[in-house]
Amino acid sequence: MDKSPDAFRTISEVADDLDLPQHVLRFWETRFPQIKPMKRGGGRRYYRPEDVDLLKGIRHLLYDHGYTIKGVQKLLKTNGNKFVIAVGHGDLASVEALAAAQEPSPGEPKVGHPDDDQIVGRAKPPISRRFLNFVSGEDDTPEVSIGKSSVGKEDRALLQEALYDLLECKRLLDQVR
């Protein structure tokens, strides 16, 4: 029996609908104060339809557009919940506004430039996969900082790529289970 569109959903129903593990939804509640499911006796969560729509938008920005959690937090702060919900629903005007926001203005450095850190509020650049040697035969392995020296920007970028690859593998494994 299907619930009405205005019915509250349990965490398992929302997790199945969004194709996410339940622990991800609980984690997102700690990072996005806009997600406020009702909690009944025993701590059981009930998500309102607006909460589910917001979660869909957040999922779309994180997984489909490649935003960081900080980037989505900034979008929520500057544009509000309705914008993120509209992006999650595929509202063309919102998606176009999002794409325009990702384009650097003249004189602004492009996202993904080797000398730049991740710009908050913008999508991550495509991953080069060089860390896991997915690049065709090229050997562009950077030097790794050893000892007391600090981690350089290139090393940090490689570590971030490795982390993203591991998280993506975990997400794929969770889908198969």
Q: Which residues of the chain have pLDDT under 70?
A: 1, 92-151
In this prediction, residue 98 carries a pLDDT of 65
In this prediction, residue 95 carries a pLDDT of 65
Q: What is the pLDDT of residues 116-140, one digit of tens each?
A: 334 344 455 554 444 444 444 444 4
In this prediction, residue 26 carries a pLDDT of 92
Architecture of domain 1-112: Orthogonal Bundle (1.10)
- 133 phi-psi bin (left φ>0, alpha ψ -120 to 50, beta other): left
Gap between the Cα atoms of 120 and 30, Å rounded = 19
In this prediction, residue 92 carries a pLDDT of 61
Domain ranges for the chain = 1-112, 127-177
Which residues are CB-neighbours of 129 under 8 A, at least 6 positions away? 135, 161, 165
DSSP state string for 46-106: EE-HHHHHHHHHHHIIIIIS---HHHHHHHHHHH-HHHHHHHHHT-HHHHHHHHHHHSPPT
3-state secondary structure of 126: coil
Which H/E stretch holds residue 28? helix 22-31
The answer to whether 9 and 3 have CB atoms below 8 angstroms apart is yes
Which residues are CB-neighbours of 13 under 8 A, at least 6 positions away? 3
